Structure 1
């Protein structure tokens, strides 16, 4: 159920005390020469929509812009500063609790958001307001990702390319697949990204001239469908698990005497 498609009288009966909600979040940032800037938020929204339709649990509008300053050198990339992002998501989630929602799944598709969403969840958990957890789609199916692609790449690689091929194929420039591979970085081990245990980079462009990592040339629509279906199944199971718990069982344990 997409919350924003309904009238408030409809939602008065659907948003009850002790409810669960799905919140998709992504980014608007460069994804190499072959994928749209919308890649992350399109993936998050598509997965959240599929899970909401299967479970009947409400989905909120998508947070389209995230923490992406590490892609700022590429034209079109948009971002917000981390404190602003954290405060926005926290305020937004506290607003949901006003309507009876006390458990939230942040359906996230952007690595730059991860630590900040976990911090927001910690704050809400600590003061007993809500139980909000971050879920990253590719972390839910790592074995399948590894089985399908030899060079995954952390960004704009085959896994994201396959997902967008399934979700919005018209936005994928297949003629740029080889350019994405040859002008980017196929394997981080071939760079100086880590030297003597220290990460040497701050921005994507420090390692990849065109912003792509991995090799998307072996992507097929069938692989994209497999990834999407498997991730959706994991998300549905997570949402159902969370919805089955009472908030009290998820709040912090009392001080040990």
Structure 2
């Protein structure tokens, strides 16, 4: 059920029977010359809505802007500071708990959000407010991603290109070769580690046009495979979380109490 599409009376009845919500989280940032800046939140929203429909779970509106300062040199990229993002996401979940939600899946499609969503989950867990987990779609299907693409890349590569192609057919096909040739195809060619230290902070330091991997290897057909497989994994995660007793999802008792 999409929360924003229903009235409060319809939601009041629905929320009496559910305890889990999916919160799609993405970004608005450059994705090379061939993909729209909506790429991450488009993917997150599509997956969350699909899983919510398949499993009859609640899906909230999408958080469209995340932690993206590492893409700031490219026109149009938007971001919020990491502490602000963490506080906002924590407040959002606390709002959901007011309505009876006690477990949340952050359906994430932006790598820059990962550590911050995990920190939010830790805060809520430690306070015994809610059980929240960060779920990154491509991390749920790593073998399929590796099988489909020889040079995937972590950003604006063939996996994201394929997903956008399938979800909304919004790929600049005439720009695919430019994205490959002007970007960084193989991460091993990036000279960004010096004596054990990572020496870069911004994407432009590695890729002149913001693309990574080989997007010419993308297709809508591959996007469908990725979307179906990731959706299935997300539904399985939601089913598992929904089946747990609430107290089992909260922190265990203190050591002294457990040893009695």
TM-score band by shorter chain is over 0.9
- Partner Cα separation in structure 2 for residue 125 and residue 97 of structure 1: 13
1:51-99 superposed Cα distances (whole Å, 9 cap, x missing partner): 0110111100000000000000000000000011000000010000000
Return the alpha-carbon distance in structure 1 between the equivalents of residues 4 and 47 of structure 2. Answer: 17
Structure 2 match to 1:173: 172
2:176 and 2:138 map into 1 onto residues whose CA distance is: 21
Q: Which residue number in structure 2 is paired with residue 225 of structure 1?
A: 224
Tell me which residue corresponds to 2:197.
Answer: 198
**1:120 counterpart residue number:** 120
Query: How far apart are the structure 2 equivalents of 1:10 and 1:191?
Result: 53
Using the size of structure 1 for normalisation, the TM-score is 0.98
What are structure 1's unaligned runs of at least 5 residues?
A: none
CA distance in 1, matches of 2:18, 2:48: 20
- Give the 3-state SS of the residue equivalent to 2:59 in structure 1: coil
Q: Which runs of 4+ in 1 moved over 3 A?
A: none
1:1-257 mapped onto 2 (5 Å cutoff): 1-16=1-16, 19-169=19-169, 171-257=170-256
Q: Provide the C-alpha distance between the structure 2 equivalents of 1:194 and 1:36, rounded to a whole number of angstroms.
A: 30
Q: CA deviation at 1:239?
A: 0.6
The separation in 2 between residues aligned to 1:188 and 1:222, in whole angstroms, is 25
Q: 1 CA distance for matches of 2:193 and 2:157?
A: 20
Q: How many residues align?
A: 256
8 Å Cα contact 1:17/1:100 also seen in 2: no
- 1:217 and 1:196 mapped to 2: Cα distance? 34
* DSSP 3-state at the match of 1:101: coil
CA contact (8 A) 1:35 1:161 kept: yes
RMSD: 0.9
Distance 2:48 2:195 in 1: 40
Shift of 1:229: 0.3
Q: Deviations over 1:10-59 (max 9, x none)?
A: 11111127600000000000000000000000000000010011011110
Q: Helix, strand or coil: the match of 2:255?
A: coil
Cα-to-partner distance string for 1:230-256 (whole Å, 9 max, x where unaligned): 000000100111111121001001111
The Cα shift of 1:196 comes to 2.3
Matches of 1:68 and 1:95 in 2, distance apart? 25
Q: TM-score, normalised by structure 2?
A: 0.97
CA contact (8 A) 1:18 1:103 kept: no
